[in-house]
Amino acid sequence: MKTLAADAILVLHFAFVLFVVGGLALIWIGHAEAWPWVRNFRFRMAHLAAIFFVAGEALLGVVCPLTLWEDALRGNATDKSFIARWVHQMMFYNAPEWVFTALYLAFAAVVAATFWRIPPQRKTSIKTYT
């Protein structure tokens, strides 16, 4: 049961990473293709907040809560399912902590610049009553 819960957390973690990384790519592609949803204010605020959360964790030296929770459930590194092993290999690399902090900050700067370059738009609907 713990392995299943740990795998679910890993999938959630992967979805978060996909949202942050894939979201930026989709914003730029959507801008080029004139997709209106890429300017959705709620989506863009959530995207900006997500990467700022990650960058803030890195600056403060805080380990991601999803990683801590997954590790606590697994108990040891060998208790991973097939999918968990592959997702881990795609998401986690061995490098000094400062490398990840620099990458998170750089990515946050790109997301912030994108927020400025391709600003979100709030829906403004004027209702008329007759």
Condensed to tens digits (0 to 9), the pLDDT of residues 98-107 reads 888 888 899 9
Question: In which domain, by residue range, is 23 found?
Answer: 2-117
Total tally of structural domains belonging to the chain? 1
Residue entry with tokens 């957390």: 9
Taken in order 57, 58, 63, 67, the sign of the CA dihedral is positive
* CA 70/CA 96 separation, integer angstroms: 21
Asked, for residue 128, whether it belongs to a domain, the answer is no
Asked, for residue 130, whether it belongs to a domain, the answer is no
Q: Which amino acid is at 47?
A: H
Please give the angle made by the CA atoms of 85, 89 and 91, to the nearest 5 degrees. Answer: 115
What the block records as the tokens of 30 is 């959507």
Q: What's the confidence (pLDDT) of residue 21?
A: 94
* CA 60/CA 57 separation, integer angstroms: 5
Asked, for residue 126, whether it belongs to a domain, the answer is no
Asked, for residue 83, whether it belongs to a domain, the answer is yes
Residue 32: enclosing H or E segment and its boundaries? helix 2-33
Asked, for residue 123, whether it belongs to a domain, the answer is no
The count of residues in the chain is 130
Asked, for residue 125, whether it belongs to a domain, the answer is no
User: What's the pTM value of the predicted model, to 2 decimals?
Assistant: 0.77
Asked, for residue 40, whether it belongs to a domain, the answer is yes
Q: pLDDT tens digit string along 58-73?
A: 899 888 888 888 888 8
Asked, for residue 122, whether it belongs to a domain, the answer is no
